[in-house]
Structure 1
Amino acid sequence: MTPAPSTMLNDRDLPPLFRSSDQSALRHQGDAFRSVRTHLVVLLLATTAAMFIEQASGRIMAAFAAILYGVTILLGRRTSRRRSRAYWQAHRAAAEVVKTLAWQYMVHGGPFHSRVADPDAMFGERLEERLRELRKCGWEDTRDGIGERGMGQVTAQMRLVRSKSYAARRDIYLRDRLLEQEVWYKNRATRAHRSAARWSTLTAALTLLALSAAMLRTAGLLGGADLAGLLSAAAAAGVAWQEVRRHGPLTHAHTLIEQDLETTRIAMSTTVTEAGWAEAVGEAERLMSPAHTEWLVRFGG
């Protein structure tokens, strides 16, 4: 499931803005997931403490439960203020914009076809135009000075690839872009499917245990402990975590994209001619866009 090592390109050959935006996206993504996970864990602990209050009626446990519920409220407000998810998505979109424009520039794809008189200027214009919109959504520009803007993001390796023959550019794109992304989506779909199966099994087991606890308590065999309520809360937390991670919808989306990329790669290596190359590259890049993934996710859950 891993392609042969690239002989031409890696992330260091792409615009520096891609790497900085990619790193920021990963940082905000981790922060968003940690915040939700902490919120759910603290809320579950508060529910556990509240259950023990019914048993012991101790002031210490009651105070502890009250503190934990207060912490959950503060965590919720903190999460809403930090807007980590919005920043994560804005930086991810920026990274993908830079990457797709760079690849189209290099292989004469999309609007950067061979007849463009000044591809560097077009790259700079298209890049800044897209980034202006993302700034409104929370993207943070880390570039210093005008030299790093627009055409300043075109690397020497990008120009070298663009100067190659059609056959060379085609082979580079099919191997280092389409095949690499095809394998990436396949691996991600497999991981998401496994995670979905694990969490579904866990929540189903917790729900079954909650049902059993409720029946035992009704029969008077479990005393006064409300284990059914605690187990139900744990199952609900598991379901909420699955909704945050979206394992099921992502499995569906990534599988479809992987299949479409395989079909596209085969067509581009066999039937697409140089005359239709730019259009084919543009369509391939659309399949890999975050907007397309998000559209498929909506129908996959």
Structure 2
Amino acid sequence: MDIEFSEADLPDFFRAFDQASLRGQRLTLRISALRLVGALLATVGATLSFHLARVDVWAFVSLLGFLGALAAELVLMVTQPEKSWYDGRAAAESAKTLAWRYSVAADPFFGELGEREAVKLLRRRLEEVAGEIAGQIVVRDTDGAYCTDAMTLLRNAPFEQRREVYISRRTKDQQRWYAAKAVWNQRRSTAWRVSLLSCEVVALVLVTGRALDVWPVDWAATLAAAIACGAAWLALKQHSSLGAAYSVAAAELLRQIGILEETTEADWAHAVADAEDAVSREHTMWLAKRGAVNG
């Protein structure tokens, strides 16, 4: 009997953590973008001047920009969506690796463990993960909160079937994801750097023109602000470092696939642990870099 296994078959713990992380990511990026746009708008307003009656319209634009940037900064400080982003992602990855280890009878859920003991261990390990972010994410105690029927079905399947499903639905899928994300991030990094370089060239031309009195408006401050905002956004997105990290992870998982395909049942539990550790290393590096940027 063929066994299909996907993220939909992972426990509710994983989905709760994953959704919380995605919400935190969206809020962090949107509010950060609002803050940067507000700062840029404030600079544009300070550069230009247009009087309507006795009111300087651009001064009000600058005021609105500063207010928007301030409001965004306050929201980030109070709500801290980046914490939900990072903690939720760490918890989701931990829940996913625990679910897979249980499902294919890998370390520490060895095949020698009875089903009841294995489920009990899985529950305890998932609760430990949840305890590390207590109060941030709520998981309902449903039948699929800790272990799903698909996980148990796969765990009880013959070794060859467990190996086939793990290699195709976990390791190969993850390797393809890393490879695609590596290319995407490298392209985005290049595009952003070319854009920033172009802005710097334009700024040089405009400053030269202003020095020679070719035009009356001084756009240097505006372009400098645009370049600074672009650099800040690039630092937040971390395309370059992510591209490099994903490339390394994709190569490591490709190596692990070759090992897993030749692994016997006697070495299976530890071989899976090595493959899962390859994913964990990438995520640990991701968390460390995020902490360094936002610390």
Same fold, TM exceeding 0.5? yes
- 1:50 and 1:17, CA in 2 relative to 1: closer, same or farther beyond 3 A? same
When structure 1 is superposed on structure 2, of 54-63 and 107-116 the one drifting more is 54-63
CA displacement 1:204-230 (0-9 Å, x = unmatched): 10011111111111122122x111221
1:297, 1:175 → 2: CA distance? 30
Letter of the aligned partner of 2:124 in structure 1?
E
**Cα deviation code 1:138-195 (max 9, x no counterpart):** 631231x4x55xx852111111100011111111111110000000001111111111
Q: Report 1:1-301 matches (<5 A).
A: 8-53=4-49, 59-117=56-114, 118-135=117-134, 139-143=136-140, 145=141, 153-223=146-216, 225-270=217-262, 272-289=263-280, 290-294=283-287
Instruction: List alignment gaps of at least 5 residues for structure 2.
Output: none
Following superposition, the deviation at residue 292 of structure 1 comes to 4.3
Give the C-alpha shift of residue 109 in structure 1.
1.2
CA contact (8 A) 1:250 1:297 kept: no
Q: Which whole-Å CA distance do the structure 2 matches of 1:256 and 1:298 have between them?
A: 20
Contact 2:12 2:145 in 1 (8 A): no
Distance 1:140-1:274 versus aligned 2 partners, 3 A rule: same
Residue aligned with 1:196, SS: helix
Structure 1 unaligned segments of length 5 or more: list them.
1-5
Q: Percent identity?
A: 28
How has the CA–CA distance of structure 1 residues 298 and 126 changed in structure 2, closer, same or farther, with 3 Å as cutoff? closer
- Distance change (3 Å), C-alpha of 1:112 and 1:89: same
User: Displacement, 1:275?
Assistant: 2.2
Q: Tell me which stretches of 4 or more aligned residues in structure 1 moved more than 6 Å.
A: 54-57, 296-299
1:206 aligned partner, one-letter code? C
SS of the equivalent of 1:288 reads: helix
1:74: how far off? Answer: 1.9
The answer to whether the Cα contact below 8 Å between 1:254 and 1:293 also exists between their aligned partners in 2 is: no
Indicate conservation of the 8 Å contact 1:252/1:297, yes or no: no
> What is the Cα deviation at residue 237 of structure 1?
0.9
Normalising by structure 2, what TM-score?
0.90
CA distance in 2, matches of 1:62, 1:129: 54
Q: Is the 8 A contact 1:253 1:296 kept in 2?
A: no
- Give the Å deviation of 1:55: 10
User: What TM-score does the superposition give when structure 1 sets the normalisation length?
Assistant: 0.88
Whole-angstrom CA distance in 1 between matches of 2:27 and 2:214:
44
